[in-house]
Amino acid sequence: MFTSNNKKFLFAILGLVLFSSTCRFFQREKPLVEKTDLPKQSAPFPTKEPDIFQTEIIVSTFFGQTRSEKKYFLAKKDGATLYVFNYGEKDETAILEKADGKSFVLKKGAKTFAPRGKKEGAAETGDLQHFLTTKWLNEKKTSKFEDLGAKNGLRKYRVTIDDNSGSEIFVFFDEKLKIPVKQEFYSATGGQKQLSYTVELKNIKTEADAKLFEIPAGYRPADGSVEARDTP
């Protein structure tokens, strides 16, 4: 099941970036960017997620010369949402929120499903939504959005979070899909900017297969119960 420690966001979605293989968040002693009293600006591009879509989310973390990568999957259609963590790995786990309000945790390796508690995975799924809509941009104190122009259909923005720290974010907005498809997070260390995280949408589709929102065939109740389920 999904549990969480005391959690704080680094730019809201950095909690997701630091999502560990045991399905728990861990936090740094200090955020990469401190809160400031700089004037707040709204993002100069739409931040509403599409009503119907599916996409992979690739999160890369950089520590010195070491790069690690995690994959997630997110789909939404007709009021139903599927969140997949550790996508494509042995411990792949999903949260299925159905249009009728029922919610399940799916374990791919064990081929099991179980009813999901109201608070289970709430922070994790919220982080995914925060990334997709870039709500963190409007929730945090930002000093400036700078339009750096467009290339191959992607418009690039520099977001300055704190002039004193030197930290900044680059957002790549797909002008056709009308959503941000990549974000790069830079921190300033010793007077030099270092790439800390990248988050990128891959294989984006503006439609989602209805089967994604059904409990897969062959899955059994995790506790042996006879909880009602869909029959594909």
Over its C-alpha atoms, the chain yields an Rg (Å, rounded) of 19
Q: Return the pLDDT at 140.
A: 55
Q: Return the pLDDT at 147.
A: 95
> Average pLDDT, whole number, for the chain?
74
Quick one: what percent of the chain has pLDDT higher than 90? 44
Q: Tell me the domains of the chain and their CATH numbers.
A: 39-214 (2.50.20)
Kindly write down the DSSP assignment for every residue of the chain, as one continuous string.
-----S---STTTHHHHTB-TTS-B---SS-SS----PPP---SS--PPPSSEEEEEEEEEEETTEEEEEEEEEEEETTEEEEEESTTSTT-EEEEE-TTS-EEEEETTTTEEEEPPTTTTHHHHHHHHHHHHTHHHHHS---EEEEEEEETTEEEEEEES-TTT--EEEEEEETTTTEEEEEEEEEEETTEEEEEEEEEEEEEESS--GGGGSPPTT-EETTS--------
Q: Return the pLDDT at 166.
A: 73
> For the residues 80-108, what does the mean pLDDT come to?
93
Q: What are the tens digits of pLDDT across the range 118-129?
A: 544 444 555 555
Q: Return the pLDDT at 114.
A: 93
Q: Return the pLDDT at 107.
A: 95
**How would you classify the pairing of strands 80-85 and 220-221?**
unpaired
pLDDT band at 155 (very low <50, low <70, confident <90, very high): very high
8 Å CB contact between 14 and 7: no
Among 68, 69, 73, CA closest to 57: 73
pLDDT band at 62 (very low <50, low <70, confident <90, very high): very high
CB atoms under 10 Å from CB of 173, counted, come to: 22
* pTM, entire model: 0.72
Tokens of residue 78, six digits:
């007709």
Q: Is the pLDDT of residue 132 over 60?
A: no
